[in-house]
Structure 1
Amino acid sequence: MTNASKETVDPFTVLRPRLQRALKGFSREFADWSEQPPTQNVKPERSQFPIPELILFALRNVLGFRTSGPGEKMRWAIRCGFNGAPVSLEMAKFGFRIYAAESVDVKRLCGQLQVAVKHVEDWLEPLAKQQAAAGNVTVANRHSEFDSRYRFFRGLADKSYRTAERRPRAKAAKTNDISAGISDLARGWNHTMRARTQGFYHSTAMVDAYFSRLEHILVLLRAFTGRPVLEGELTAFLSKTWDEKLKALVDVDEPAMQKLYSDLKRIKERVRNPFAHGGVENDGGSLFVHIPTVGALPANFTQIRNSVRFNFIPVEKDDHGAACTVFDAFDEAMRTGPLASAHNFVDGSIDPVFSADELAVYKRLGEGTTKDREDWIDHWNYERDRHDNMDY
């Protein structure tokens, strides 16, 4: 083996000179705070430095600046010099902060750091793509958010349809003429139609929210099954449709799942798709073909009876109730079927990691006891809370 082959290749050969030019005036050496006390305490706008860790990478990993931390309510800190004056860059509980002496031009300092961050971002972009293709990524578990949105619109729809069934209190008539009775009838009709229309709006929003939640859950479950991810498989999985994702995880031809899957597809095609895609229906129901001497007729002819637009109010109480029944049954099947163990991690708010090592952990825990999973989930959440609160 030659001496050349033993030499360590410097991965920052291109990036380091760019950062040195961008950060002219920054120094690994810093003056004594006693001579120039930190009179400036600046918290930049989050939009200036949305990912402060890129500053850490530039100064510590590439330029070799010394860092400290973690400490109480502080994740990391870099003390350095800027044009001869002391500066401290800190990532603390309430965000990124800059402590500097009075003589420091903080605006200029931030401008230089932003240029450096852009260089780091450009350099890291190919690596980020490689990591994503290899599955070395974490996906944020936002199940609680998606579930809350779904249940919010479901609750509003339930309330509206109940309101539609309640007759408004009749106003006391001053006379016995027929106009008072007609007025009450009109008011009652308007009340019912308004509530039914609101129910329709909320129910379609509920359906849309449910399928958004479903797609999110399927991505999480792909990790928590513990199955290895091949090169490029994760990015390909993310680009699949909801039913393709489902088929990759569940046997939809299994008798118990077959009907639920069919019902979900019907709701998706009849309700969700037309309102999510500008009224376009897959079977041509949104098109009206011109028939000579007759007029414009639906392109799907008598199948228009299956269209969400067939009724005066597109989604009525019974339609809403039927959708809720399907959703509840499908959720129950997912939580109690072959993916029950994987669902524990979803409900436990675990952010899945798709690396080979973490997938092996999920597989081992999935094959273990419920207590094993609960203990692991509790510890994981404890560590995350500690990290989020910077209780080091």
Structure 2
Amino acid sequence: MRNDLPPELEKVREKAWRAIGPVKPVDDATQAEQQFLFNAKRTNAGRKLPPQHLVYLALVELLGFRDLGRFEKLAWSIPVDFNGCAFLIEHRKFGVGVFAADPEKEEGDARTIVTHVHKLVKAAKPFFDWLAAKAVEDSAVNVTNKSASLFDRLEFLRASYRAKADQAIAQKDERSVTEGINSSGGSWQSISYPAYRLKAEARWLGLSAIEAFFSWTEHVLIHVGILRGTLITADAVAQSAEADWPTKFKLVFDLADPHSKALYDDLLIVRKELRNFVAHGSFGKQGEAFDFHSSAGPVPVLLPDRLGGRGFAFGQISSFEIENSLVTIDRFIAHLWDGPRAPAKIYVQDYELPLIMTMARDGSYAKAMASIEEMTVFAGYLAGEMDNAANMDW
């Protein structure tokens, strides 16, 4: 049981005890068969318990129920007393549940236990919020890593774009002719060119690929920043997650390096002229939303640039090649995983491991980032430990 609760949470603990009602810790008067701990079976009612971590934190951390500890395929086991009889609330490999000596006879009691646990979890919400805030304050957190999944999306869209563009080229000379008779008895003919539609579809896929690239980099740059020691606290990670893309880029790259600076400038052009065109309503690649009337016909007008201080301005539409943008993206990816950043790829992309902030502070990541060999051993060991934990192979 936590003894470091602030005074205002003591009332939450009192409310939690009222919520748990007749469910209490076992004592010498609790009735249980001799082999109850090993023979107890899952009840159907127990399948409707709240998520396992909420159950454990409320019962053990807040109220002080006893956890009997780990066993094979068992993460934790909490014996409880309900009307003088013993039950187990356990997190086994196939989920959290309520376990009884005779589930058929005790199903009703198990259902009542589940109802009170739900009331307990609801009453304990301020305690959960306090625990979360304290963990973030102490940087005792893991940062979720979805880098490999986001990169897979980018690769899929990029490959789909190129396949569609190749198809458009292969069918550039094809045409489809449709003929018929109209209501007046006259004949009509319609000619279409499949390549036009294929080009449009290729462009949509290309735009989506570029969107996917920036989504991936918004995520992966923070993770590489943690591994390289630029971010070592949960608060710094939270602030960086809310920062703009240029700020995230600078977590990983030194703009004094000419290659990094050139890529940075090129990607900013891609982001402004193409990505923002899609993200902000597709008015125009450069912000043109109006055509003003003139003796020469319609002339594009650029929308105001809030960052640059530009008002409405005379515009000129320029072409922007998706393929060039994707080539720039390929150059960036190669540069990201080059040199001192190469070990990060093993951890972030190949294994897609969560970033553990305590390891950022204690030097574990700094040691692993020393070489590809160090990171390979480190990431492999960590992945193995996580697999064992997931399988409850203690």
Q: Please indicate the TM-score interval, normalised by the length of the shorter structure.
A: 0.7 to 0.9
Question: Of residues 336, 342, 345 in structure 1, which corresponds to 2:344?
Answer: 342
Question: Of residues 229, 232, 235 in structure 1, which corresponds to 2:238?
Answer: 235
Query: Which residue identity does 1:297 align to in structure 2?
Result: V
In 1, Cα distance between equivalents of 2:234 and 2:384? 32
Moved more, 57-66 or 119-128: 119-128
The Cα shift of 1:331 comes to 0.8
The answer to whether residue 125 in structure 2 is matched with residue 125 in structure 1 is no
Matches within 5 A, 1:170-185: none
Query: Which residue pairs with 1:86 in the alignment?
Result: 86
Query: Which residue pairs with 1:314 in the alignment?
Result: none
Question: Of residues 12, 17, 22 in structure 1, which corresponds to 2:19?
Answer: 22
Query: Which residue identity does 2:63 align to in structure 1?
Result: L
Distance verdict in 2 for CA 1:210–1:9, change over 3 Å: closer
Query: Which residue pairs with 1:44 in the alignment?
Result: 47
Asked whether the equivalents of residues 133 and 235 of structure 1 are also in contact (C-alpha less than 8 Å), the reply is no
Query: Which residue pairs with 2:181 in the alignment?
Result: none
Query: Which residue pairs with 1:144 in the alignment?
Result: 148
SS in 2 for 1:88: strand
In 2, Cα distance between equivalents of 1:236 and 1:378? 30
Query: Which residue pairs with 2:318 in the alignment?
Result: 306
CA offset digits 1:230-253 (Å, max 9, x no partner)? 684232212111111111321224
Matches within 5 A, 1:178-327: 186-187=191-192, 189=193, 191-227=194-230, 229=232, 232-279=235-282, 283-285=286-288, 287-288=289-290, 290-291=292-293, 297-300=299-302, 303-306=315-318, 319-327=321-329
CA offset digits 1:53-102 (Å, max 9, x no partner)? 12111112222222234222221122212233432222122222222443
Asked whether the equivalents of residues 132 and 235 of structure 1 are also in contact (C-alpha less than 8 Å), the reply is no
Q: CA RMSD in A?
A: 3.3
Asked whether the equivalents of residues 135 and 141 of structure 2 are also in contact (C-alpha less than 8 Å), the reply is yes
In 1, Cα distance between equivalents of 2:46 and 2:24? 21
Query: Which residue pairs with 1:313 in the alignment?
Result: none
Long gaps (5+) in structure 1: 1-7, 174-181, 309-318
Moved more, 107-116 or 253-262: 107-116
Identical positions, percent: 22
SS in 2 for 1:339: helix
Long gaps (5+) in structure 2: 179-188, 303-312
Asked whether the equivalents of residues 135 and 234 of structure 1 are also in contact (C-alpha less than 8 Å), the reply is no
SS in 1 for 2:89: strand
Query: Which residue pairs with 1:177 in the alignment?
Result: none
CA offset digits 1:173-210 (Å, max 9, x no partner)? 9xxxxxxxx87xx34x1x11221121112111111111
Moved more, 100-109 or 145-154: 100-109
In 2, Cα distance between equivalents of 1:142 and 1:230? 19
Moved more, 204-213 or 164-173: 164-173
SS in 2 for 1:306: coil
Query: Which residue pairs with 2:388 in the alignment?
Result: 386
Query: Which residue pairs with 1:65 in the alignment?
Result: 65
Query: Which residue pairs with 1:362 in the alignment?
Result: 365
SS in 2 for 1:72: coil
From the two aligned structures, give the one with the greater strand fraction: 2
In 1, Cα distance between equivalents of 2:323 and 2:356? 37
Distance verdict in 2 for CA 1:170–1:305, change over 3 Å: closer
Moved more, 62-71 or 163-172: 163-172
TM-score (ref. length: structure 2): 0.80
In 1, Cα distance between equivalents of 2:117 and 2:299? 64
Query: Which residue identity does 2:267 align to in structure 1?
Result: L
Query: Which residue identity does 1:145 align to in structure 2?
Result: S
In 2, Cα distance between equivalents of 1:345 and 1:353? 12
| Bigger relative contact order (CA 8 A; separation at least 6) | 1
The Cα shift of 1:216 comes to 0.8
SS in 1 for 2:387: helix
The Cα shift of 1:278 comes to 2.0
Query: Which residue identity does 1:374 align to in structure 2?
Result: T
Distance verdict in 2 for CA 1:37–1:335, change over 3 Å: closer
